[in-house]
Amino acid sequence: MSTAAVTRSAAPPRVDGVAAYAPGRPPSLWWAVGGWIAVPFLTAALARDRFILTTLAAAAVQGLFAVGWVLLAVTGQPSLGHALPYGAGAYAAAFVARRAGLHGGDLGGWVPVVLTAAAAIAGGCFGGLQGRLTRRLAPAFVAVVTLATVEAARSLATMWTVPVLRGSGDTDTAIPLPTFPNDDRAAAWLAAAAFASGVLVVAALVRSRTGVALRAAAGGERDAEALGFDAPRLRLFAFIAAGTIAGIAGALAAQLSGHASPLMLSWQASLFAPAAALIGGAATVAGPAAAAYAGAGAAQFFEIPAAVQLLVFAGVLVAAGLRDPQHLFGPAFSWNPRPAERTGDPRPGRSRPIVPWEDA
Amino acid sequence: MKNPGDGAAPLLRLDGVRVRAEGAWPVREFTIGVAPGEALGVLGPRSSGKTALLDVVSGFLRPERGRIALCGEDITGWAPHRIARAGVARSFQTPPFLDGTMIDDAVVAAAIGRGFSARRTRDAVALGLAITGLAPKRYRTGAALEPPEQRLLTLARVAAAEPRLALIDEPLAGLAPEAAGLVVSALRRLHQIGTALIVTAHDAASLRVVCSRVVVMRDGRVVGPHA
Amino acid sequence: MDLAAQLIVSGLLAGAPYALAAWGMAVAFANGMLNLTLGLFFTLGAYFALEFTARGLPASSAAPAAALAALIAGWAIERVFVRPLQGRALATAVVLLGIALAGEQVFGLVWGGADRSVPLKLEVLQIEHVVVAGLELFIAAGAALAFFGVVALARRTRAGLAVRAAAENAEIASCAGLDVERVRVWAFAGGCAAAAAAGAFVSPITPLSPSMGRGALIFSLAVVAAGGPSLRGLLAGSLALGVITQSPATYFAPQWAVVVAAAVLAGAAARRRVPLWRRANA
């Protein structure tokens, strides 16, 4: 994303009169995103092994989860609690299934649709809650408060236990729900379709006029308002939209695996999205999606334990923060920043205590 | 000096607008009018209320008392984004952080914020870039701009919003003479296309080039017109 | 009524060590840093106490030892990781969080992921109708002593004055000849030390696990967000929050403590915003 590359390229083609999202990249919607959309479908078609198919399905769901997070990054709200709407979606699906008296097995028909719809609503609501709480907070505090919300939710989730084996007195913190679909290849296809739709929706949104508004909101409430954008509402919208996508991902994950558990609300689950975004490239939609798909697939395939994953995410966060602190999670983030652009305006130290809210 | 509002309907009218603010003079009171297409300079020392005036017109400060009318319509108490959409654009003393944003994108945002259609956006962006002379650096990021050019970028955003009234807060502060010249020409071009301006500054010399009328603020009040 | 009194007393006693940890968070916050490694040092202090009691050393020496270790480690972390970030709040928070998470995994490797406990028992007292474990009282007393000691240090010594001056306005303080960077690193390190001491204090009555610091971290953030930068506010906030979190925790389930703390944090952060209709500084 160097400025030299930008000046070398021709004027970027426009979509609906609006310049493309990523500075310096030839930005046609299809070209930037299309390549990646095909991969999950191809792999779902070609794979034979059952284990690989379930891995691909899980990877695609994680990709969907991460691509929703991109919306939050676009508006300058790096949420570290994205697992909350995800887990909320999974638990909502489980809750609805239990209320309806469905306890397991592949029921098909309208059941998965209803469960996923419930999950989408739950995800949107919990995402909206996070957004409402952090509406006017500066990015550092958005990160901290969202992390706290996910920890609180995880605590609550561990309290909901059900006797899994009837009469045995055993309790388990995983809530079972009907699995769908039973066929592994169908599962991989479904997950790929959901992933592809998510990527297309987010990419289209980010490249639209609404996307311009969202990006303007990232520049600070004062400046966004002066341009004519209702910044708090835009930021909330981003949380609700990202939360809805995460909720759907949660429902899919729960139905594919057959249970909803507090692990879906863990810090490791939550930090997966920002880590994937940092690895994949902060200014695009396809990058984080690809990184998430590949990373989750690898983690599942090699059965990397959660502790190791968390360590990897921690390493990515530390490295990214040290590498380009000026633009962390922003569109200009680069693993290879030029020294001048990296440190930017040299500040000897803060001249006043940090302000949790938007610097008005 | 002809009094504004004589004859022609004023573009902007503040009547007894009273604002509570921090600073040396906690209460500011404004009664002032701006004719369509007029360039008004507001002169005054630090903390005299110049920025408060711009804040109250653009909606960032809610007045305790009084009435603000834009083209006769009462905009007192409107949210800032609503006032911006109504055709009031402003720049701030502290520039926005546009390091990672493409300049074209930043200017487009101003046009989208006003709700322009795709074609009008294209034209507005071209206008904004032409007025400030930033067209050659159009596809570069904000990090590539020198400080004077960052001021120009702010003005490009204001121009691309095709406002009826532009509120410019201390555009020349801290600029070397050549850079100040660029900003002044941009302001003049903005005025020439019919935008009314309210420009604040410390010293009269810089204002005189752009503004036909200058008022002085002291102790939180508008004092005189100043010839 | 008895139950209420019991809950209040338990809460106050529970809140005391966390007040110390919250002070650690506050002093870093006032100097422009969100110390997300606070939980890590809290856990470190607890594991120090575990090791001390396992080796037969006096339990009361665990806290100072842990504080010293945390002081050194905190100093190193600030110099190596925080200083290059030049005060950028988001990057600092994210980097420190990463360090905390990595540290948690290290603790898991060394001490295992399962819950451990520090065996230390004192007799149970009964005052009026309120039952107080002697242990809790002892802990609270120790924590209170440490807390007020730290406050006295901040108020009455030149070093404390330096920290407060730097927190107020670093530019002016540095013009007055204060080495702001040095103040910041010691403020950060001091905060870590306080957290470690708090963890050591709390260890006998809490199950130890590598991620036990997360609750303390959220608690401290909640106290700082709600109680504000003033010491009085901090103290009141942590005691109040101690009561508020302990009541559901003992009455319903221990998980509620974190939930309430997170709720207070979120609520306080959401409320404490500068409204758009702000005061102008012309």
CB spacing of B118 vs A18 below 8 angstroms: yes
CB C48, CB C200: distance < 8 Å: yes
Residues of C in contact with A131 (CB under 8 A): none
Q: ipTM of this predicted complex?
A: 0.88
**Secondary structure of residue C208 in the 3-state scheme:** strand
Q: Which two tokens stand for residue B109?
A: 């945002």
Q: Which helix (H) or strand (E) holds B167?
A: strand B165-168
**Secondary structure of residue A112 in the 3-state scheme:** helix
Bridge partners, residue B222, by sequence: B217
Distance (Å) from the alpha carbon of B113 to chain A's nearest alpha carbon: 5
Range A8-14 contact pairs with CB under 8 angstroms and sequence separation of 24 or more: A9/B139, A11/B139, A12/B139, A14/B122
Supply the DSSP string of A322-359, one letter for each residue: HH-GGGTTSTT--SS--HHHHH-S--SS-SS---SB--
Domain made up of B12-226: CATH architecture: 3-Layer(aba) Sandwich (3.40)
pLDDT at C246 over 80: no
C177 Cβ neighbours under 8 A, 6+ residues apart: none
In this complex, the residue of A7, A222, A230 whose CB is nearest that of residue B92 is A222
Neighbouring chains of C at 3+ CB pairs within 8 Å?
Answer: A, B
CB spacing of C267 vs A348 below 8 angstroms: no
Greater confidence (A22 vs B174) lies with B174
**Secondary structure of residue C128 in the 3-state scheme:** coil
CB A139, CB A110: distance < 8 Å: no
What is the per-residue pLDDT for B226? Answer: 45
Peptide bond into C17 cis (omega under 30): no
Residues of B in contact with C277 (CB under 8 A): 60-62
Instruction: Return phi, psi of residue B89, to 5°.
Output: -110, 150
Domain map (residue ranges) of chain B: 12-226
The whole-angstrom separation of Cα A156 and Cα A133 is 19
Neighbouring chains of B at 3+ CB pairs within 8 Å?
Answer: A, C
CB spacing of B79 vs A24 below 8 angstroms: no
Supply the DSSP string of C6-65, one letter for each residue: HHHHHHHHHHHHHHHHHHHHHHHHHTT---TTHHHHHHHHHHHHHHHHHTT--GGGHHHH
CB spacing of B108 vs A212 below 8 angstroms: yes
Q: Mean pLDDT, consecutive 10-residue segments, chain A of 360 residues?
A: 36 38 46 71 86 93 96 93 96 88 68 91 97 89 94 89 49 71 86 93 88 89 93 95 97 90 93 94 83 94 92 95 88 74 45 48
Give the other-Cβ count within 10 Å of A336's Cβ.
9
Tell me whether strands B65-70 and B12-20 are parallel, antiparallel or unpaired. antiparallel
CB spacing of A133 vs C89 below 8 angstroms: no
* Segment C101-135, tens digit of pLDDT: 999 999 999 988 777 777 766 666 666 666 666 66
CB C166, CB C179: distance < 8 Å: no
What is the per-residue pLDDT for A102? Answer: 74
* Segment A223-263, tens digit of pLDDT: 999 999 999 999 999 999 999 999 999 999 999 988 888 99
CB spacing of B48 vs C278 below 8 angstroms: no
3-state helix, strand, coil split of chain A in percent (to 5) is 65, 5, 30
What is the per-residue pLDDT for A193? Answer: 93
- CA-CA distances (angstroms) from residue C264 to C153, C221, C269? 29, 9, 8
In this complex, the residue of B22, B47, B61 whose CB is nearest that of residue C277 is B61
Q: Which two tokens stand for residue C264?
A: 């207070």
The whole-angstrom separation of Cα A5 and Cα A334 is 14
Among all residues of chain B, which has the CA nearest to that of A230?
A: B81
Torsion from C-alpha of A22, A25, A26, A31, nearest 10 degrees = -80
Residues of A in contact with B92 (CB under 8 A): 222-223, 226
Write the burial class of residue B146 (CB in 10 Å: 0-12 exposed, 13-18 middle, 19+ buried).
exposed
Tell me whether strands A259-260 and A175-176 are parallel, antiparallel or unpaired. antiparallel
The whole-angstrom separation of Cα A228 and Cα B75 is 15
CB B140, CB B191: distance < 8 Å: no
Global pTM value: 0.87
Q: Which two tokens stand for residue C132?
A: 């107080």
Instruction: Find, among A284, A26, A7, the residue nearest to B140 by Cα.
Output: A7
pLDDT band at B26 (very low <50, low <70, confident <90, very high): low
Question: Positive or negative, the Cα torsion across A285, A288, A294, A297?
Answer: negative
Bridge partners, residue B19, by sequence: B28
Q: Which two tokens stand for residue A255?
A: 């139905």
Distance (Å) from the alpha carbon of A70 to chain C's nearest alpha carbon: 17
CB spacing of C86 vs A325 below 8 angstroms: yes
B104 contact A CB<8A: yes
Among all residues of chain A, which has the CA nearest to that of B126?
A: A17
What mean pLDDT is predicted for residues B100-106? 84
What is the per-residue pLDDT for A14? Answer: 40
AA letter at B170:
E
CA atoms within 13 A of residue A321's CA, in its CB half-sphere: 30
Domain map (residue ranges) of chain C: 2-210
Residues of C in contact with A346 (CB under 8 A): 86
CB within 8 Å of chain C, chain B residues 20-79: 20-23, 28, 46-52, 55, 60-62, 79
What is the per-residue pLDDT for B118? Answer: 85
Among all residues of chain A, which has the CA nearest to that of C265?
A: A145
Q: Which two tokens stand for residue B3?
A: 């009094």
Bridge partners, residue C130, by sequence: C127
Give the other-Cβ count within 10 Å of C58's Cβ.
8
What is the per-residue pLDDT for A13? Answer: 40
Interface test with A, best of C88, C110, C186, C209 (most A CBs within 10 A): C88
Burial C202-221 (b: 16+ CB within 10 A, else e): bbbbbebbbbbbbbbbbbbb
CB spacing of A332 vs B99 below 8 angstroms: yes
**pLDDT over 90 percentage in chain C:** 24
* Segment B116-164, tens digit of pLDDT: 888 899 899 999 999 998 888 888 878 788 888 889 999 999 999 999 9
Task: Give counts: helices (H), strands (E), chain B.
Answer: 7, 10
What mean pLDDT is predicted for residues B105-123? 90
The whole-angstrom separation of Cα C66 and Cα C73 is 10
Distance (Å) from the alpha carbon of A314 to chain C's nearest alpha carbon: 4
Q: Average pLDDT of chain C? A: 79
B98 contact A CB<8A: yes
Greater confidence (B61 vs A295) lies with A295
Among all residues of chain C, which has the CA nearest to that of B45?
A: C282
The whole-angstrom separation of Cα A305 and Cα A303 is 6
What is the per-residue pLDDT for C134? Answer: 67
Instruction: Find, among A187, A195, A191, the residue nearest to A285 by Cα.
Output: A195
pLDDT at C268 over 80: yes
What is the per-residue pLDDT for C279? Answer: 25
CB spacing of A348 vs C263 below 8 angstroms: no
Residue that is written with structure tokens 């109040």 in the block: C240
CB A321, CB A333: distance < 8 Å: no
Q: Could you tell me where the beta strands, DSSP code E, fall in chain A?
A: 175-176, 259-260
Residues of B in contact with A330 (CB under 8 A): 99-100
Burial B27-62 (b: 16+ CB within 10 A, else e): ebbbebbbbebbbbbbbbeebbbbbbbbbbbbbbbb
Range A34-38 contact pairs with CB under 8 angstroms and sequence separation of 24 or more: A35/A286, A36/A199, A36/A286, A36/A289, A36/A290, A36/A293, A37/A196, A37/A199, A37/A200
Greater confidence (C145 vs C221) lies with C221
A7 contact B CB<8A: yes
Residues of A in contact with B118 (CB under 8 A): 16-18
CB C76, CB C99: distance < 8 Å: no
Write the burial class of residue A41 (CB in 10 Å: 0-12 exposed, 13-18 middle, 19+ buried).
middle
